[in-house]
Structure 1
């Protein structure tokens, strides 16, 4: 995919210059903020959203509900890590150079990017977390997906990825997070249920009260004691 032209006949390159051109027209302080946000800030924000989602999931009514919900949340970062690993052979197979190596006039905000461009690790990781969160919590999942889209925009704005690198990352992250989610749930839920029944570590899975085996608020109700039949001697008296 090397040697793409800059004349606009290639939509990928044309969109690259349109988005990256915003960096050239922006003040230096704004570009420095975008550099930090695109390289670290949005990923850290996604991690905080995962923590927020986990904090709510562990407050579900019963241990079984909490274990299932926390399993879905835990899968989000695990899916992101797995998707980035899957991307390693993809990058090696495609071997697409970074856009600034083949095209002149780009405003590159991050130095030292010497690896291949397709697909974007940042876009892959961000969308895997967003899609994984969507399975666990619809509202926070939509927030995660929005942050992932912002991450993809930043990577093109910074001049380190083509738009198709980002789209490929979105597709890879979504596929790994959603397709493997049922298997992950089946494996993680019983493990976390067992952790929830343990001592202090159980608070990581379930913040409810009551016996872990019977769910939150389970109260043992004593059966009424049967009154003994009157003794015949008492009746005779």
Structure 2
């Protein structure tokens, strides 16, 4: 995809400059912090949120209820992985270059980003985790979606994605997490039930009443 114009008539580019301009005006420590947070920190926070959610879901009373709850949590990382895989052909088809390759004056906080830009893997992964968490548990899901939104902001702030790269990632992650959820639950719940009945690994699904 050809580079977008820098005249300011394109709202995608204008918003890119507005958000990324905050990085140039930020103190060095804040820029460094945002670099880590946007590249690794928020994804790590989402992983910890998934683990926390799983630990709580397995404590439900009856095995059948616990198995369905844990199956929903198992779907969370699977949804994220599928969403990222679906993005591979999308990026290859669109072939949009990173914004700093076509636009001058951007503050780029992460080096080595030479792959295609649309859609954002980080935004896709983060929102797939958040949306799938919402299916498993609304409280954890809302927290996950909030983290995903912050992840999207960070990717533009860091100068490595256009806003529409992030919006596309949000849409892709949400679509995969929600549309495939019924099929995933139908397949994963019997597996979780069987694991819950196991003497050795049943604790992964069900915290048996004392």
TM-score (norm 1): 0.88
RCO higher in structure (CA 8 A, sep ≥6): 2
Q: Show the counterpart of 1:94.
A: 94
Q: What RMSD, in angstroms, separates the aligned Cα atoms of the two structures?
A: 0.7
Displacement of 1:146 after TM fit?
Answer: 0.2
Residues 142-177 of structure 1, C-alpha deviations (whole Å, 9 max, x = no match): 000000000000000000000000000000000000
Deviating beyond 3 angstroms after TM superposition, the runs of 4 or more aligned structure 1 residues are none
1:77 has 2:94 as partner? no
Q: Show the counterpart of 1:13.
A: 13
- Contact 2:3–2:96 (CA<8 Å) still a contact in 1? no
Q: Show the counterpart of 2:199.
A: 199
Give 3-state SS (helix, strand or coil) of 2:52's partner: helix
Q: Larger C-alpha radius of gyration, 1 or 2?
A: 1
- Contact 2:73–2:133 (CA<8 Å) still a contact in 1? yes
Q: Which runs of no fewer than 5 residues in structure 2 stay unpaired?
A: none
Give the total of aligned pairs: 210
TM-score (norm 2): 0.99
What pairs with 1:205-216 in structure 2 (closer than 5 Å)?
Answer: 205-209=205-209
Q: Show the counterpart of 1:67.
A: 67
What pairs with 1:1-237 in structure 2 (closer than 5 Å)?
Answer: 1-209=1-209
Displacement of 1:7 after TM fit?
Answer: 1.8
Displacement of 1:199 after TM fit?
Answer: 1.3
- Distance (Å, rounded) in 1 between the aligned partners of 2:208 and 2:107: 52
- Distance (Å, rounded) in 1 between the aligned partners of 2:114 and 2:185: 37
Q: Tell me whether 199-208 or 116-125 shows the greater mean CA deviation.
A: 199-208
Residues 79-113 of structure 1, C-alpha deviations (whole Å, 9 max, x = no match): 00000000000000000000000000000000000
Structure with greater helix share of residues? 2
- Distance (Å, rounded) in 2 between the aligned partners of 1:3 and 1:88: 20
